[in-house]
Structure 1
């Protein structure tokens, strides 16, 4: 392990450098990380990375899912529930069936069960890639909501397909009513276990005399706990982590004090960045191991690549067809049920974007690597290495082809004026005014006296009154720049004050943290 430590440090440096480069040239960083991993894998004198299939899912999946679940908007999911759930479940099942049929027809000796297993492996889209791409282009909020939430929820559905297909392949048995009952327990059992563990942890956070550091450690343990307990109960660990994460995020303000919330988010941002960087780099680094497996199975690289490209084309084509099918279905169903938006838009580009944004990523490789090495009878798992290589091709092609072309496609499409949300400037003004109003009302009712004697309360009262009296509350870029410059000057002055031996340095640092928080708020506004 110690021998690999310098290599791990080098990998982290490469991840940081490639991410900076991706931000500079404005492309999704997962694309460069995968390519960087490929280059490192082919660099002589560097050790080959051998990934243990028993550990890859448990290390990466729970924390990545947990972090994503904290970003879920239940309000938005409920509004777009039909299309999100359709893509997260129905489209995944359709895709798995299409992949199974094509694989069974084209790949010699490839059974339907193996085809469904392959479909489960590559059935889910990658939320990190989608979010990284959408960061550089402007899309309607509804589209980003649908894509990001679908990418999170379809992890569960693809793993369910994979799980049952793997069970059929390893045992050679298929009993439909047992599968149906097992499916219901996998879904609802996972949700219940996640919510139950989330409720217990909420009570523990509230009852135990913890500080910020202890709370952060508990949040790091939480997703692994949910995932492993649900898996031991034969339920969906993915759904358990998502359900528990959403529950705890909903109650975050009653669980953690403000200082802890800020620290938790900062720690998690760094952890998720490292995990995503390592995971996407491992996609490229795993190529030598995958190629060695292909050679062991006696399949030529040209043939295996052809199979991979064929399956990739099937994935892309089925998703695009489903995107247009969803629009047609909405137009039909709006006659019978209330839909989120029943207006008819004569724009063929929007469904194309929805269908084209189907990049595969970390989860697909992790699931493929988790395929057992042997069957229940001890025989080698059939076509395991070919499935790994096809998965690698699917990830590589979708990330590079779709990931690089999606921004140009988005710029080409002329989006309708959906009018889903109030424009951000107006919404910011509305929020600031309403916050100022309720604060002043509360102050007048509970603290009528003593306001003028307190600089803090009187100053804040003047600010809130200014928000109410000013037509627009949002600061211009020029005003923000001036305010940030003033804050930085204050911080420089604090460094000079710190030279006074009679002033406690911890107080200086406390004021510095306040200035840092204020500067961060306005830098990101």
Structure 2
């Protein structure tokens, strides 16, 4: 089977199984990893090798950018303390505990290989965290902390990984140098990300090109930030996150509606396909991971992998509970930026730390040999151990997240929905006030202005009803007759276009343009109904 055929097969499987996962209400990473495992055992399927550079330089930048773009900067800033405690403190604590377990429990694992393994599996995975919590009924605070932690813990994990590998290769470890390098990598990464985003923002503002070219620029942004930061020995991940947070805050001023709509559609599709390929590729690595281990050691290593998984999860739980409350107790009576999490929220934060493709790529990137020609110690066992940790994380934690949320009583708090309704009411109120102002009177004839005032008054009344009693409290009769007629006319026009297409009396390009305009009108009408 050629590479192109294999890629088409994987895309088809990804699309089909994502729909199956949605119907089963199961996180689709779980289904795709299992599908990858099944495909890896298919006779005749060529080995699929996941090159680390493919993960770090092709898949990772756009996926990180999309996740960070969707993250609210204000929410991220409000939860900065728990995010930092998890992204730095929890990673270092897990590193020490997991290394100790690996050293004392795994035969032949000296401190060097033990710390390398711990550095690989200690940081949570940004791609897995974003997908695993998507669509789950969790509060916005929990999702912000989990996703925020996974986006910024790269600096800690990267430095730990680099220095652990260097310690094995050279036999020396410089703790003070590692701490200084952590600060440098973080600063360079954030600085590069902001600079790249600002540069692209200027290009967007000055650009008068098509929406397609503008969308292409948004696709280039994460790659430019990542590659430049890595070239300057900074954190490419933090560069992409900083660029995305900057760009999302300024998108409304940088581009017009047409470009934003097209970019959003492209990014949604790209994110879905890349996420799907990442998880199915994880499963496909099974033959290559197992091949490097002697047959008699495979099942014992699987058992040790489960032990390391328990150590990773246990270390996180041991960190989460004290870190949630100790800073507040030590702070005395000083005002705190946010409320303390409940024990249930802390439990979910502990259980929700997922490992994924980044850990596997880090394991695959280990050098094959030391400078003296000896094989890198325990490299192949580390690959299998990492693979088991990832599977346990995705399959066990991923499948139990939804039941755990229900058991803990942590259904979504509705805060985001309430904030949305409040913002809609505020916006409609201000718009209606403007429509009654002398400035608006100078913009349009009285009959047009009166019609628009009536339209916004209906919208405002409906929003206030919904805010008071929920969507069920709004009778269908409150929908504007004008909106109902608009809907009828849109369907009529679309039918007429179909007749013209069948009669072949009009240029197809013109027909598609008019259909696109009708789609936009219908989308606007749907938003009016929802608001």
Please, what TM-score do these two structures have when normalized by structure 2?
0.88
Query: Is the contact made by 2:196 and 2:225 (CA closer than 8 Å) also made in structure 1?
Result: yes
What's the CA shift for 1:401? Answer: 1.3
Deviation digits for residues 210-232 of structure 1 (CA, Å, limit 9, x no counterpart):
32111111121221111111111
Query: Is the contact made by 1:155 and 1:363 (CA closer than 8 Å) also made in structure 2?
Result: no
- Select which of 513, 519, 524 maps to 1:518: 524
Change (3 A) 1:187 1:336: farther
Q: How many Å separate the matches in 1 of 2:353 and 2:386?
A: 14
Question: What does residue 301 of structure 1 align with?
Answer: 298
Work out whether 1:374 is the aligned partner of 2:369.
yes
Question: What does residue 15 of structure 1 align with?
Answer: 14
What's the CA shift for 1:378? Answer: 4.5
Query: Is the contact made by 1:53 and 1:371 (CA closer than 8 Å) also made in structure 2?
Result: no
Change (3 A) 1:22 1:520: farther
Q: How many Å separate the matches in 2 of 1:148 and 1:316?
A: 17
Query: Is the contact made by 1:330 and 1:342 (CA closer than 8 Å) also made in structure 2?
Result: no
Work out whether 1:327 is the aligned partner of 2:324.
yes
Query: Is the contact made by 1:283 and 1:362 (CA closer than 8 Å) also made in structure 2?
Result: yes
Work out whether 1:452 is the aligned partner of 2:445.
yes
Question: What does residue 150 of structure 2 align with?
Answer: 151
Q: How many Å separate the matches in 2 of 1:200 and 1:423?
A: 32
RMSD of aligned Cα (Å): 3.0
Deviation digits for residues 316-367 of structure 1 (CA, Å, limit 9, x no counterpart):
111111122123314413415432445695xx43322221112211222222
Query: Is the contact made by 2:48 and 2:284 (CA closer than 8 Å) also made in structure 1?
Result: yes
Work out whether 1:397 is the aligned partner of 2:392.
yes
What's the CA shift for 1:404? Answer: 1.5
Q: How many Å separate the matches in 2 of 1:502 and 1:227?
A: 47
Q: How many Å separate the matches in 1 of 2:43 and 2:120?
A: 31
Q: How many Å separate the matches in 2 of 1:225 and 1:378?
A: 36
Q: How many Å separate the matches in 2 of 1:160 and 1:73?
A: 27
Q: How many Å separate the matches in 1 of 2:415 and 2:288?
A: 51
Work out whether 1:357 is the aligned partner of 2:352.
yes
Please, what TM-score do these two structures have when normalized by structure 1?
0.89
- Select which of 305, 312, 317 maps to 1:315: 312
Work out whether 1:435 is the aligned partner of 2:434.
no
Count of residue correspondences = 516
Work out whether 1:472 is the aligned partner of 2:465.
yes
- Greater mean deviation of Cα atoms: 359-368 or 62-71: 359-368
- Greater mean deviation of Cα atoms: 116-125 or 397-406: 116-125
- Greater mean deviation of Cα atoms: 35-44 or 10-19: 10-19
What's the CA shift for 1:511? Answer: 3.1
For structure 2, list consecutive stretches of 5 or more residues without a partner in the other structure: none
Work out whether 1:462 is the aligned partner of 2:470.
no
Question: What does residue 384 of structure 1 align with?
Answer: 379
Change (3 A) 1:460 1:432: farther
Deviation digits for residues 128-152 of structure 1 (CA, Å, limit 9, x no counterpart):
5444454454233322222222222
Q: How many Å separate the matches in 2 of 1:302 and 1:359?
A: 23
For structure 1, list consecutive stretches of 5 or more residues without a partner in the other structure: none
Deviation digits for residues 36-64 of structure 1 (CA, Å, limit 9, x no counterpart):
00000001121221222333321111111
Change (3 A) 1:311 1:261: same
Change (3 A) 1:441 1:350: closer
What's the CA shift for 1:240? Answer: 0.9
Query: Is the contact made by 2:125 and 2:150 (CA closer than 8 Å) also made in structure 1?
Result: yes
Change (3 A) 1:450 1:91: closer
Work out whether 1:59 is the aligned partner of 2:63.
no
Change (3 A) 1:519 1:123: farther
- Greater mean deviation of Cα atoms: 479-488 or 98-107: 479-488
Question: What does residue 268 of structure 1 align with?
Answer: 267
Deviation digits for residues 242-269 of structure 1 (CA, Å, limit 9, x no counterpart):
1111111111112111111111111011
Deviation digits for residues 361-383 of structure 1 (CA, Å, limit 9, x no counterpart):
12222222222333344543222
Q: How many Å separate the matches in 1 of 2:272 and 2:411?
A: 34
Query: Is the contact made by 1:104 and 1:112 (CA closer than 8 Å) also made in structure 2?
Result: yes
Change (3 A) 1:204 1:373: farther
Query: Is the contact made by 1:147 and 1:354 (CA closer than 8 Å) also made in structure 2?
Result: yes
Question: What does residue 216 of structure 1 align with?
Answer: 215
Question: What does residue 236 of structure 1 align with?
Answer: 235
Q: How many Å separate the matches in 1 of 2:298 and 2:368?
A: 21
What's the CA shift for 1:468? Answer: 4.1
Change (3 A) 1:177 1:242: same
Deviation digits for residues 376-402 of structure 1 (CA, Å, limit 9, x no counterpart):
445432222211111110111111111
What's the CA shift for 1:414? Answer: 3.0
Question: What does residue 68 of structure 1 align with?
Answer: 67
Task: Give the secondary structure class of the aligned counterpart of 2:138.
Answer: coil
Change (3 A) 1:181 1:343: closer
Q: How many Å separate the matches in 2 of 1:136 and 1:192?
A: 33
